[in-house]
Structure 1
Amino acid sequence: MYTIAIAIFIPFIAAALIPLIYKKIPSVNIGWFVLFIPLTLFIMLARYIPAVAAGETYIQTIKWIPSAGIDFTTYLDGLSMIFGLLITGVGTLVILYSIHYLSERESLGHFYVYLLMFMGSMLGVIFSDNLMVLYVFWELTSISSFLLIAFWYHRKQSRYGAQKSLLITVSGGVAMLAGFLMLYVMTGSFSIREILGLIGRYTDEPLFLAAMILVLLGAFTKSAQFPFHIWLPDAMEAPTPVSAYLHSATMVKAGIYLVARFTPIFGGEATWFYVVSCVGIFTLFWGSFNAVRQTDLKALLAYSTISQLGLIMSLFGLGSAALNSGYSEDSVIYTQATFAALFHLVNHSTFKGALFMVVGIIDHNVGTRDIRRLGGLMALMPVTFTIALIGSFSMAGLPPFNGFLSKEMFFESVLNVRNLELFQIGTWTTLFPVIAWVASILTFVYSMIIVFQTFFGEHQPDRLDRKAHEAPVGLLIAPSILAVLVVAIFFFPNLIGNYLIRPAMSAVYPMFPNADELTPHIKAWHGPNMALYMTIGVVVIGALLYIFLRFWRSVYTIVPMRWSLDALYNGTLSRMESVSTSFTNFYMTGFLRDYLVYIFLFFLSGVGGILLLTGGYSFDLTDDGPVTISEFIIVIVMMVAAGAILFAKSRLTAILLNGVLGYSIAIFFIVFRAPDLALTQIIVETVTTALFLLCFYFLPEWKKEKSTTQSKVVNGIVAILVGTAVTVIALAVQGDKMFESVSLYFENAYELAGGKNIVNTILGDFRAFDTMLEVVVLFIAGIGVYTLIKLKAGKEENDFED
């Protein structure tokens, strides 16, 4: 019944079991066990393809926190199906590749735990209907990707890249959370499906625009859109299987998924159209422009990923224009941009995944990814060359590869936007095809760099760390499968179009009645048209730019690196660290009395200030009970003991005076007829006094710190003010009861919890969860003490043996 929910949790369960399996069978590569997890999930999801293609959706709900409107609701439709198949399908190939790529000397147990955590988190993101559940999984992707990027933590750059990705993506996630809460405030629901039906009433609300921008911040940071793209190149310090999985097929597509899922909610608005399409198209250009300058193959692929993500994002922005005017023939034209986005989403995962694996093979076999040291590898690595050729030419948009089909649809979409009469867009529409065309030329250039500068030219064995040779079969299987898919999709694109993209289009445009009209028939030849002429121009001008690359590459030196976004990020982080260090050094003086002064001053300014502003310091003593002589005596004893502690000359005297305070409180409990509390207080006071005496017996002689007159005056004033504030608060609380006393509820403890002792029922029933956590804390502390004792005992034994 809960198939999709089970699919989400299977990777987490497997991740929990891996350490046990890895410990029991250390001689077997744990990757072979992990491989069955995504493969099983892929087959499980593939069984739903015919039903989802026929228009079925599957909703499953598990009650979680119903009082807060948070349920674990999973939702399988065409859109989540595409992403689910990519996550599990590419995940299967990546794990197969990693089995042969990673050495058994690596910490494989940790690696596969992190990878499965990430896989489960991504499945949770795409299948969650509840915004809060989606957010939980969203941040889990950031945490697990942080662990994967920092897998080689002994490398400084790996730690830097992991920190950078975490800071940027988590910051965007927090912004997205604020947007989700705004949607809840407006609609009263956390369900995406319910919000979709209600949001039309709230488009004029001030929170609507704010929620839209905050949600987009989360999407842009995760999908490496400008100017948040700077984390992705540094994340390439991760092992190649991680790069192939996280940064081409899954993690960076989470933001794409978010934009696609929220297009029906925000898509009819001009702000959504402008922000998504403009940020996307500029990211496309900026990524391709910077990719050409890279000399590291992995860095080149990182910027190419940024560029391709910008292409997909811009298409979703252009496609959102169809929601502004409702269902019509004109609006259906604009939906083709969304179709192209979904199609290129699939294509990009195939050719980019293959290219990352190829780069991993090159690095694995020759010991470098530096293009300046490579060349002439075609004859030595013919299979790797073939895969690289297929992936690069597909990325460049050449036939007969799937990238050509989606790139042609991209050109047609940016050309169609020129006829758009919505949002008062005017002549700005001309910029879209121009920027798209220039970016595609640059894409062609860096695609040729991958092929020709790596595999053609002169072989330089003396500049390589290892002798070049073809990769073993195990490393070639996964990229070969992806390369075959690149070609197969070109010849049979409508299988993808009809069974995967068409139901996804229905999810993006649920208000449009006929999904068939939204799904064009994909074909390679459309006759001579503007899109074809643009492609010819890309090939001709791109080839010329590649041939004369050395003459114009100096353009990248015009703007100094200190003006880059990376320099801005590093400078900002450095300044924040400097300011925080200075501030910390200011208040972390090393003296306990200073810390107490800070705490008490904050208490006075916060609580005392509120009392003064609200007039809550008034109190009435007329209804108070009489104070007996015995109570006066106890209070006087406590005052004398407290004052005497300040002038005690030894620790022993101070401890005994402190015990007088504790036992006096116990006497108060007896006077007020609370024997159980009195007994508890006596036991606690006796134990703590004995422990104090035992501990202080072994400490050196107590030498009081000499204080200046100024510090004594400050401490005295603060002490008097705090004592006065606490007294006023106690009197004000007793004299002005704004609400009915909570004790009235607990007085009915026998009927509610079956216990005659109110204190016991509060601890065991009403506060059961809190009490359980306290026990857990004590248990953990006990384990820590036991561990330290064992470690010390073990060290002493080793020292004795030595």
Structure 2
Amino acid sequence: MLLLHFAIILPFLFAFIGPLLQKALPRVHTGWLMLPAPVFLFIYMMSLIPVNRERGPLQGKLSWMPSLGVDFDVYADGLGLLFALIITGIGSLVVLYSIYYLDKNKEKLTHFYVYLMLFMGAMLGLVLSDNAMVLYGFWELTSISSFLLIAFWHKRERSRYGALKSMVITVFGGLAMFAGFLLLYTVTGTFSIREWIAEAPSMANDALFLPAMLLVLLGAFTKSAQFPFHIWLPDAMEAPTPVSAYLHSATMVKAGIYLVARMSPVFAGQQAWLWLVSGFGVATLIYGSYRAMKQTDLKALLAFSTISQLGLVMSLFGLGSAAAFYTGTEQALFYSKATMAAVFHLINHAIFKGALFMTAGIVDHETGTRDIRRLGGLMAVMPISFTIAVIGAFSMAGIPPFNGFLSKEMFFTSVLNIREAELLGLHAWGALIPVIAWVASVFTFVYSMLFVFRTFGGKKSFEKLEKKPHEAPLGMLLPPVTLASLAIVFGLFPNLLSYSLIEPAMAAVHPNLLEPGKQFMVSIHLWHGFTAELYMTAGVVALGIVLFLLHRRTAVLHAPLFERVSLNRVYDSGLKLLDRFSGSVTKLYMTGSIRQYLIYIFVFIIAALGATLVSEGAVQLDTSGFADMSFYEAVIIIALILSAIAVPFANSRLMAIILTGVSGYMVTLFFVIFRAPDLALTQMIVETVSVALFLLCFYHLPKLKKEVVKLRFKLWNLLIAVGVGTVMTLVALSASGGSSFESISHYFLENSYTLAGGKNVVNVILVDFRGFDTMLEIVVLGIASYGIYALIRVKLKGDQEEGAIETRDPKLSLNVYGPRSNDVILRTVAKLAIVIIVCFSLYLFYMGHHHPGGGFIGALMASAALLLMAMSFGMDAVNRIVKFNFRKLTAVGILVAMLTGIGSFAFDAPFLSHAFDYFHIPLIGELELATATLFDLGVYLTVIGVTMTILFTIGRDQ
């Protein structure tokens, strides 16, 4: 099912082409350009509902790194499909809502929608992935993209604070979850979640099983804002309201819920799982509902209500796990009703909470405030918004005939049923759970009424508002009206969801409860008689009304819970403590002295490598198998040693640069003698470009001054230099003198042509056998070049502001602006040399698959030509002749390399799999075409972009 893979990739494609579309259609709101993606995905997911019921779960497989067990496997069962529908359905409404909420003339809409599409794609990948490592990758991408969305108004300090807090806590949990996945892999030898479920009974007795469970739960609790990790969610409300409506009511916070539901078949048979999931859920439920009553900001109220509702759903999944202890019996079906309630409330919460967040955004947008103390009387001027608020709040409070009433009644049923479970004394302690659930429901009723009647009811106080209130435009009202309508429809006709969404999701959570071919009985009714649940609801309403009327006059209901002591203070103090501690530790070694930094590095190398060689007995000094040294080799070695020794005694930096270059060129001669033309070409060009780079860097330094240094200073340098030389010599001798493993060089020599179609083994290894390494290397190079560019730009900006003037050595500067009068000979020779070098560069690139060369060497050769052009004619001349941005060229190169790897998916091959064939072309003859050449083209472009970005950035800093 490649369409499932495409569904995940589609939002990322829109994130990529969105800015291009915006430039092509500048008058069109970016939201209209992005809206087709979630709408199409929602329709596609809807079409999968009958397919899923008739044929079973849909699945697809794309090989990525099969040797590591990491493949892009997708699995759309009832649970994954339910979440995908919520993600795309609410996402479509949020995009439509944001079109009218965000002003295209004031906001950076392109950034907003790119972040939103990244988040949507990450969430889809998370809920549809079967491979745990792929799921983890998407999990962390949701944290990154949500960080960008929360910090969208980055000029606000609170936005940055909220974004950082959410990222710190959720990424911390994500790393814990990652460790749990690794432990499960250690136990089972696979990253497939379906295989984990199949092997769950055999895993239970493993010593790593319980630690894995705890780590996975830590990831789930942090993501779904369970107490005490909930503190990031209220601060994340600094994001624009569309973000809050999407991330923090329907999708991101549900990721932790999804993880618990998905991993329930693995861990549900453990009593620790039942107690932890239900216990944390109930604690979060009561705490969140109590704190929600004390809020005066509409979004803060909704934030704590979200925490409370997430606790409710979490507790239901925990209580539903009791069914795993009675597999195949009536009791199993009895306790599985809690899972039914969890799935149903999951849907209901997404509906009514999305509507309420959008209503809060409308109030803020049309009045200029979200402070309940300044609002009131809006019912008369905003009747549609009031109606939406009533439906959403009454549904959240569990009042009939809305959908929230049904799932709340099912919640009461579940907490009453759990009293009968004889699990670790749960029949005794279980009596507390219904009491806590009932009290939390009372608080839920109170804050739901506060949201409606403190905002829309009461006396008019429009003079306190920044804007004259009025009803929102139709486009902003349409999304919450749609959600409010669903709250009514699913309340009156709940069985529309019974066997389309709820039962398949239950089957995914409890795959082993029923015999094959059977299904859960899901029948939901608005009226089911005078039951204990109905009496509990009546009590909630009665006491809730009383508390609502007493709210303003009772401090315990509206005053802050703790002012001096809170979890937020613990978090802030902890960060400050860590910051001070890390600062004090950093000051011990970050002295600003490059010499000391080198001492740290070299001493560590000597200690680590030396100790390892000695402890492992790996020192091999047997040179009997070495070849005799020739006269030429002896001469080169002597020249190399002398040039290296002469560097510290040079009287000028220019001479030191030249001597360093001599050492490099001597190494190049060694490669030539040892018949390694690829390495010789690379080393020669690197040395040439490095000399220019050294010249540019040393231009910024003051003139070299010879100072008298103490003997102790020289002895330290001598000892460290001798130590590093000795250790590295021992490493080289040991590596060449013996090995515990058979060399893999024979494999590459025998298969480079037959498997990769290349005779140049070095190039084949770089672009085919180890292509993934090469791709990561060019990504690192690209990041480094961008970092250098950013640092130089920041420095230049600071110099301009402060008027800083540095003393530099003009003798070491390159002619970067334009030719001088004595450059005639250089320019004349350069005109011919540049053409020759460029042609040779292209030759090296094209012929590198069979002969010495390749994309890396060819790019360095082209960079040398551009460098010669800059030295001869000036950088401005290079910009006039070569009319492209080298930073963008770097990005294009990396993109070409990545697309080449992704293209293999279209042929059901692992990532970066290459193919080749031979074709007969008239007049030319037989010609080989290899996809590795496209990958090498990406390397070629990236290296040129990186090299020239660094050289030109440093060269222009004058």
The reply to whether TM is greater than 0.5 is: yes
* Other-structure match for 1:147: 148
Deviation at 1:783, TM superposition (A): 6.1
* Other-structure match for 1:490: 491
Deviation at 1:407, TM superposition (A): 0.6
Q: Provide Cα deviations, 1:316-375, integer angstroms capped at 9, x if missing partner.
A: 000000011212111211111000011111111111111101100100011000011111
- Aligned: 1:5 with 2:16: no
**Whole-angstrom CA distance in 2 between matches of 1:650 and 1:716:** 21
Q: Is contact 1:655–1:689 with CA below 8 Å preserved after alignment?
A: yes
Q: Is contact 1:749–1:755 with CA below 8 Å preserved after alignment?
A: no
Deviation at 1:666, TM superposition (A): 4.7
Segment of structure 1 superposing worse, 712-721 or 363-372 = 712-721
In structure 2, do the counterparts of structure 1 residues 537 and 735 end up closer, same or farther at CA, with 3 Å as the change threshold?
A: same
Which residue identity lines up with residue 178 of structure 1 in the other structure?
A: A
* Other-structure match for 1:260: 261
SS of match in other structure, 1:201: helix
- Aligned: 1:654 with 2:819: no
**Whole-angstrom CA distance in 1 between matches of 2:682 and 2:58:** 56
Q: Is contact 2:324–2:332 with CA below 8 Å preserved after alignment?
A: yes
Segment of structure 1 superposing worse, 763-772 or 453-462 = 763-772
Q: Provide Cα deviations, 1:469-521, integer angstroms capped at 9, x if missing partner.
A: 12222221111111111111111011112321112111111112268773342
**Whole-angstrom CA distance in 1 between matches of 2:955 and 2:702:** 27
**Whole-angstrom CA distance in 2 between matches of 1:440 and 1:295:** 20
Q: Provide Cα deviations, 1:540-595, integer angstroms capped at 9, x if missing partner.
A: 21111121123432477686434211111111111222222233333222222111
In structure 2, do the counterparts of structure 1 residues 736 and 531 end up closer, same or farther at CA, with 3 Å as the change threshold?
A: same
- Aligned: 1:502 with 2:667: no
Aligned residue runs from structure 1 range 424-443, under 5 A: 424-443=425-444
* Other-structure match for 1:717: 719
Q: Is contact 1:293–1:553 with CA below 8 Å preserved after alignment?
A: no
- RMSD of Structure 2 on Structure 1 (CA): 2.8
Which residue identity lines up with residue 548 of structure 2 in the other structure?
A: Y
Aligned residue runs from structure 1 range 461-540, under 5 A: 461-513=462-514, 518-540=520-542
**Whole-angstrom CA distance in 2 between matches of 1:76 and 1:117:** 20
* Other-structure match for 2:837: none
* Other-structure match for 1:552: 554
* Other-structure match for 2:597: 595
SS of match in other structure, 1:224: coil
Q: Provide Cα deviations, 1:29-49, integer angstroms capped at 9, x if missing partner.
A: 222232222222222222222
SS of match in other structure, 2:431: helix
SS of match in other structure, 2:250: coil
Deviation at 1:221, TM superposition (A): 1.2
Q: Is contact 2:293–2:301 with CA below 8 Å preserved after alignment?
A: yes
* Other-structure match for 2:221: 220
Segment of structure 1 superposing worse, 576-585 or 765-774 = 765-774
Segment of structure 1 superposing worse, 321-330 or 642-651 = 642-651
Deviation at 1:63, TM superposition (A): 2.5
In structure 2, do the counterparts of structure 1 residues 397 and 598 end up closer, same or farther at CA, with 3 Å as the change threshold?
A: same
**Whole-angstrom CA distance in 2 between matches of 1:428 and 1:139:** 37
Segment of structure 1 superposing worse, 380-389 or 46-55 = 46-55
Deviation at 1:158, TM superposition (A): 1.0
In structure 2, do the counterparts of structure 1 residues 292 and 706 end up closer, same or farther at CA, with 3 Å as the change threshold?
A: farther
**Whole-angstrom CA distance in 1 between matches of 2:467 and 2:740:** 79
Aligned residue runs from structure 1 range 656-675, under 5 A: 656-666=658-668, 668-669=670-671
* Other-structure match for 1:58: 58
1:779 to 935, 938, 944: 944
Deviation at 1:54, TM superposition (A): 4.5
Deviation at 1:188, TM superposition (A): 2.1
Q: Is contact 1:749–1:756 with CA below 8 Å preserved after alignment?
A: no
Aligned residue runs from structure 1 range 555-594, under 5 A: 560-594=562-596
In structure 2, do the counterparts of structure 1 residues 157 and 704 end up closer, same or farther at CA, with 3 Å as the change threshold?
A: farther
SS of match in other structure, 1:455: coil
Deviation at 1:607, TM superposition (A): 1.0
**Whole-angstrom CA distance in 2 between matches of 1:203 and 1:265:** 9
**Whole-angstrom CA distance in 2 between matches of 1:648 and 1:121:** 56
**Whole-angstrom CA distance in 2 between matches of 1:528 and 1:376:** 37
SS of match in other structure, 2:227: coil
**Whole-angstrom CA distance in 2 between matches of 1:338 and 1:756:** 61
Segment of structure 1 superposing worse, 636-645 or 755-764 = 755-764
SS of match in other structure, 1:153: coil
Deviation at 1:639, TM superposition (A): 3.6
SS of match in other structure, 2:425: coil
Aligned residue runs from structure 1 range 309-708, under 5 A: 309-513=310-514, 518-554=520-556, 560-627=562-629, 634-666=636-668, 668-669=670-671, 685=687, 688=690, 700-704=702-706, 707-708=709-710
SS of match in other structure, 1:63: strand
In structure 2, do the counterparts of structure 1 residues 688 and 363 end up closer, same or farther at CA, with 3 Å as the change threshold?
A: closer
Which residue identity lines up with residue 538 of structure 1 in the other structure?
A: V
Segment of structure 1 superposing worse, 235-244 or 130-139 = 130-139
SS of match in other structure, 1:251: coil
**Whole-angstrom CA distance in 1 between matches of 2:418 and 2:306:** 24
**Whole-angstrom CA distance in 1 between matches of 2:685 and 2:765:** 20
Aligned residues: 793
In structure 2, do the counterparts of structure 1 residues 533 and 625 end up closer, same or farther at CA, with 3 Å as the change threshold?
A: same
Q: Structure 2: where are the runs of 5+ without partners?
A: 775-855, 857-935
Q: Provide Cα deviations, 1:750-776, integer angstroms capped at 9, x if missing partner.
A: 755666665565556655662547535
Q: Is contact 1:749–1:758 with CA below 8 Å preserved after alignment?
A: no
Q: Is contact 2:231–2:568 with CA below 8 Å preserved after alignment?
A: yes
In structure 2, do the counterparts of structure 1 residues 550 and 267 end up closer, same or farther at CA, with 3 Å as the change threshold?
A: same
SS of match in other structure, 2:336: helix
**Whole-angstrom CA distance in 2 between matches of 1:693 and 1:520:** 76
* Other-structure match for 2:846: none
Deviation at 1:627, TM superposition (A): 4.9
**Whole-angstrom CA distance in 2 between matches of 1:417 and 1:87:** 31
Q: Structure 1: where are the runs of 5+ without partners?
A: 797-802
Aligned residue runs from structure 1 range 724-735, under 5 A: 724-735=726-737
Q: Is contact 1:142–1:169 with CA below 8 Å preserved after alignment?
A: yes
**Whole-angstrom CA distance in 2 between matches of 1:141 and 1:759:** 39
Deviation at 1:294, TM superposition (A): 0.7
In structure 2, do the counterparts of structure 1 residues 620 and 418 end up closer, same or farther at CA, with 3 Å as the change threshold?
A: same
In structure 2, do the counterparts of structure 1 residues 677 and 356 end up closer, same or farther at CA, with 3 Å as the change threshold?
A: closer
Which residue identity lines up with residue 609 of structure 1 in the other structure?
A: A
In structure 2, do the counterparts of structure 1 residues 633 and 473 end up closer, same or farther at CA, with 3 Å as the change threshold?
A: closer
Deviation at 1:602, TM superposition (A): 1.4
SS of match in other structure, 1:74: strand
Which residue identity lines up with residue 943 of structure 2 in the other structure?
A: L
* Other-structure match for 1:800: none
In structure 2, do the counterparts of structure 1 residues 251 and 558 end up closer, same or farther at CA, with 3 Å as the change threshold?
A: closer
* Other-structure match for 1:799: none
**Whole-angstrom CA distance in 1 between matches of 2:699 and 2:394:** 79
Q: Is contact 1:122–1:137 with CA below 8 Å preserved after alignment?
A: yes
**Whole-angstrom CA distance in 2 between matches of 1:455 and 1:428:** 42
Which residue identity lines up with residue 740 of structure 1 in the other structure?
A: E
Which residue identity lines up with residue 414 of structure 1 in the other structure?
A: V
**Whole-angstrom CA distance in 1 between matches of 2:211 and 2:732:** 43
- Aligned: 1:101 with 2:101: yes
SS of match in other structure, 2:459: coil
* Other-structure match for 2:181: 180
Q: Provide Cα deviations, 1:177-200, integer angstroms capped at 9, x if missing partner.
A: 222222222222222222211221
* Other-structure match for 2:211: 210
- Aligned: 1:133 with 2:134: yes
**Whole-angstrom CA distance in 1 between matches of 2:425 and 2:54:** 38
In structure 2, do the counterparts of structure 1 residues 675 and 418 end up closer, same or farther at CA, with 3 Å as the change threshold?
A: closer
Q: Is contact 1:273–1:318 with CA below 8 Å preserved after alignment?
A: yes
Identity of aligned residues (%): 54
Deviation at 1:77, TM superposition (A): 1.9
